[in-house]
Amino acid sequence: MPLPPYSYVTGRFPHPVRDPAGHSFGHPPAAAARPEPERWRDSREFLFGVDLFNHGYYWEAHEAWESLWHACGRSGLAADFLKGLIKLAAAGVKAREGRPEGVRRHARRAHELLEQTRARLGPDVRRYFGLDLAELLAAAAHARGGGAASDAADHAPVRIVFPFQLRPE
């Protein structure tokens, strides 16, 4: 799927769906199907969220994963994992806004949710939705510790703020 022309940052770009100049205005997202963790390759929404995140579209990744979170009924193991990814993307949004405390708060919550996921899956499960849980936890910890590039004067259409990528395998 094509990437949008900009990554939404509050006050810097038109709201993607509410503003007529927004990159997704008039294009309501299709209802997402409930994702199956072991069939993550079949979930276009999940994979598009990964692509969006890796390319610096944190608000858009948040939205893609949120549709899946809703499809999961917003509760349960898969929903909590997706919420962890949503919170990690929200940390990216806060970095783009130049709000380091927001980065830390969202990254801390992402880490908590991802740690809970790992604990519930048990010590023998290394990957969930194709993502390495230890790598995700390290990424969230890095962001929580201030490991995201922040700049309140950032007006670039898109900018990657994290020194890591999500790599489903």
Q: What is the pTM of this model?
A: 0.94
The predicted pLDDT at position 146 comes to 75
Between the alpha carbon of residue 21 and those of residues 41, 93, 97, 122, the distances in Å are 33, 20, 20, 47
CATH of the domain at 134: 1.10.3450.10
| Mean pLDDT on 1-22 | 91
Residue bearing the bigger pLDDT, 33 or 148: 33
Please state the domain count of the chain. Answer: 1
- Domain range enclosing 5: 1-169
CB 150 within 8 A of CB 111: no
Give the per-residue pLDDT at 151. 65
> Is pLDDT above 70 for 147?
no
> Three-class SS of residue 100?
helix
Structure tokens belonging to residue 34: 């409930």
Phi-psi region of 26 (alpha: psi -120 to 50; beta: other; left: phi over 0): left
Q: What is the pLDDT of residues 51-103, one digit of tens each?
A: 999 999 999 999 999 999 999 999 999 999 999 999 999 999 999 998 999 99
pLDDT for res 140: 95
